[in-house]
Amino acid sequence: MLFPGSVRLLQRALLPALLQGQARLIEQGVPLPQSEANAMDVVIRFALQRLRFAPPNIVLYAWSIGGFTATWAAMSYPDLGGLVLDASFDDLVPLALKVLPRSWRDLVTQTVREHLNLNNAEQLCRYQGPVLLVRRTKDEIITTTVPDDIASNRGNDLLLKLLQHRYPKVLADEGLRAVREWLEAATPEEQSSVLSRSPPNDRWCREQLEAFAGDRSPPFPWSLGEELSPAQRRQMALYLAQKHLQNFEASHCTPLPPQAFRLPWSL
């Protein structure tokens, strides 16, 4: 049994062992974040240099924990044509904390940050290209409560962090509340109810985005949204959320059928 006061003792006792273990794993070639990133780098270089693919013609699809290497590649090769993240998450720490005792919080956080820091959201926000997130509505792995609690799906947090980075003025106040409410809707009917209160005008939203982008296509983050009314900001936020997120009625390990696959949205 562990008590809160024993966490510091655990940290002192386990940290040297963890460091030794990590060194052995690296020597043995066991996958760790950096070795996985190195392997992904080889794949991308092979596609570019040997297969002669142009970067804009490469779209990466990643499932689950593969979101780490895919976001690393997108961050490292910013001219890639797009990124589809299926059943992925923003950060490993909340998922690690859900399966371990609360008294271990500090130890778990430090261990993940130092040894298995799968910082998908941070890497994704350093990519400028088209992105689509596939959220599984019965995901038992990347929810932090129960599979049917779609509000605790960490894909929600990945979407919010991406949109808040790219469109900070839109994803503020009313816009942020609207998207949160939409993400937390448990059924398609509830989602439709949220949308019906501020139904996005697709044509108007696209025109606003195209007018802002113009010919120069400025890098993210954009200042778009400063001039919008609260109702317009809500509409725009919901429009962007729908363009970047696709629901798939399935559990974590169900294969994504070909007919459910689509390329990321872009202007």
Which residues fall within 8 angstroms of residue 140, CB to CB, at 6 or more apart?
A: 147, 251, 252
* Residue 9 resides in a domain: no
Q: What is the pLDDT of residue 19?
A: 46
* Residue 4 resides in a domain: no
pLDDT digits (tens, 9 = 90+) for 65-102: 999 999 999 999 999 999 999 999 999 999 999 988 88
Domain that holds residue 136: 15-254
Distance CA 240, CA 235 (A): 9
What is the dihedral angle through the alpha carbons of 105, 111, 114, 118, rounded to the nearest 10 degrees? Answer: -80
pLDDT digits (tens, 9 = 90+) for 119-143: 999 999 999 999 999 999 999 999 9
Tokens of 12: 């002192």
* Residue 72 resides in a domain: yes
* Residue 168 resides in a domain: yes
* Residue 150 resides in a domain: yes
* Residue 57 resides in a domain: yes
pTM, rounded to two decimals: 0.87
CB-count exposure of residue 69 (10 Å: 0-12, 13-18, 19+): buried
CB-count exposure of residue 242 (10 Å: 0-12, 13-18, 19+): middle
Q: What is the pLDDT of residue 16?
A: 53
pLDDT above 60 for 17 = no
* Residue 206 resides in a domain: yes
Distance CA 195, CA 187 (A): 13
* Residue 2 resides in a domain: no
For the chain, how many structural domains are there in total? 1
Q: How far is CA 197 from the centre of its chain?
A: 27
